[in-house]
A and B are shown apart, each in its own frame.
Chain A
Amino acid sequence: DAGVIQSPRHEVTEMGQEVTLRCKPISGHNSLFWYRQTMMRGLELLIYFNNNVPIDDSGMPEDRFSAKMPNASFSTLKIQPSEPRDSAVYFCASGGRTTYGYTFGSGTRLTVV
């Protein structure tokens, strides 16, 4: 199993551009989480899905952020338009039964200039 796969690993974009981050969860996992990590705020839960359905998106900072999970094997996090304060590492994680914990991807390091 290749684990949770995120792409791209690094993204540098100009302010105002659209950014799309991608995540492929572990096969068979039914929950998927998007987190943002910064020095100032630590690890913040943005949104999570259960069986492809968004359960809680209260952590999504603004309408500029949107996330989709069209099927069990793929999710996207989109920022449109991007701003410098969006610069962070974005992690995707997936899980099955809660007692086994969650597996994180390697993250996407986003820099908005």
Chain B
Amino acid sequence: AQRVTQPEKLLSVFKGAPVELKCNYSYSGSPELFWYVQYSRQRLQLLLRHISRESIKGFTADLNKGETSFHLKKPFAQEEDSAMYYCALSGGYQKVTFGTGTKLQVIP
């Protein structure tokens, strides 16, 4: 079975502070991991994927197979980062499992 855990429902940080959104996963094979972002009342958008090792809007995420984690980080939060963030795992048959999401609130 594949499972994604996002332990924090809400994360509030001040503008300029570092951000870390936690994601842990459970999967027996080699997973594909993603972060999606959903701004207020909009569609989910792919933010980044672990395989590309990219930085998008200042966010990065490193896959740690030992800790089965894929935490999302940004050194300096901006107000426009306020949104819901979903960690997702893709396993066999392209099935995608999402975590329950973390609402990031950046306080001016």
Contacts and interface: CB of A to CB of B under 8 A. Distances in A.
Instruction: Kindly state the interface size class of chain B when it binds its partner.
Output: 20 to 34
Contacts of A100: 49
Contact of A99 (B44, B49, B93): B49
Interface in B24-60: 32, 34, 36, 42-46, 49, 51
B93 to A, nearest CB: 5
Given A42-B101, A43-B86, A55-B95, A104 B43 contact: yes
B94 A31 contact: yes
A101 B46 contact: yes
Contacts of B94: 31, 48, 50, 95, 98
Contacts of A18: none
B101 A104 contact: no
Interface string A39-55: 00011010010100001
Given A48-B95, A55-B95, A56-B95, A91 B44 contact: yes
B90 interface: yes
Given A99-B49, A99-B51, A101-B34, A45 B96 contact: yes
A107 B43 contact: yes
Nearest to B91: A98
Given A55-B93, A106-B43, A43 B98 contact: yes
Interface of B: 32, 34, 36, 42-46, 49, 51, 86, 88, 90, 93-98, 100-101
Given A33-B96, A95-B96, 6 more contacts: A35-B98, A45-B96, A98-B32, A98-B90, A104-B44, A105-B43
